[in-house]
Chains A and B, each alone.
Chain A
């Protein structure tokens, strides 16, 4: 089974600072990789996903993530944090060779943005 590790259950940044949320996966075959965001009292929505050769993926709201096979990582970044970015962020993976479409989620990182 896939395994996803999100380093840091809580991350705090000042408004305007760089946001870096870390995600590492465990499989030897690179999976499909996703970042989802959950705003308070809402369901999850997709920020971005990696499914092809382009290793730098741009998503919504100014977020991007870079797939690094050598580091088995898919870290999420945003150059300048905004108060509205405060939310919980989940990294997820699915098996590239599978037709099941099953997602395996990390434990989540709560992002706090200070004014």
Chain B
């Protein structure tokens, strides 16, 4: 079984709809991240969380919100989706060690906003 899972894997929605993307991990890691990937732009950080009570904005948090329901679960919400939020979204985890740590990625959610 995968250590980092994301649901759904694909989603098509309409402008203005509320969308939630979910991430679960069985690695026991404290740190979790949400990224979006756009062609030619690499990955950009949306939000990150160091534990259930510690949530921080990344470089592109506008239009997004997150919830850390438990150590193992980190959800990303789009309150009112817009077409330029069409992208591939990745959840990642890492241990508490800090800057030298590898991040472990989920398989991604492909979101299309019409």
Chain A interface residues (CB < 8 Å from chain B): 1, 9, 31-32, 34, 36, 41-46, 49, 51, 90, 94-103, 105-108
Complex Cα–Cα for A58 and B4 (A): 25
Known pairs A94-B99, A101-B101; list 17 more (Cβ under 8 Å).
Answer: A31-B99, A34-B102, A42-B107, A43-B106, A44-B90, A44-B92, A44-B103, A46-B102, A51-B100, A90-B42, A90-B43, A94-B100, A98-B98, A99-B98, A99-B99, A103-B43, A107-B42
Within 8 A of A (CB), among B84-114: 90, 92, 94, 97-103, 105-108
A45 partner residues in chain B, CB cutoff 8 A? 105
Knowing A9-B40, A90-B42, A105-B43 are in contact, say whether A43-B108 is a contact too (CB < 8 A). yes
Q: How distant is the Cα of A98 from the Cα of B98 in the complex, in angstroms? A: 7
Of all chain B residues, which has the CB nearest A52? B100
Residue numbers in A under 8 Å from B97 (CB-CB): 101
On whether A101 and B43 interact (CB within 8 A), knowing A43-B105, A43-B108, A44-B105, the answer reads: no
Q: Interface SS of chain A: helix, strand, loop or mixed?
A: loop
* Closest chain B residue, CB of each to CB of A99: B98
CA distance A103 to B35 in the complex (A): 10
From known contacts A43-B105, A44-B105, A101-B31, infer whether A108 and B42 are also in contact, taking CB-CB under 8 Å. Answer: yes
Residues of A within 8 A of B82 (CB): none
Q: Which residues of B contact A49 (CB under 8 A)?
A: 100, 102
B34 located at the interface, meaning its Cβ lies under 8 Å from any Cβ of chain A in the complex = no
B55 contacts the other chain (Cβ, under 8 Å)?
no
B45's partner among A41, A98, A102, A106 (CB-CB below 8 A) is A102
Residues of B within 8 A of A100 (CB): 48, 98-99
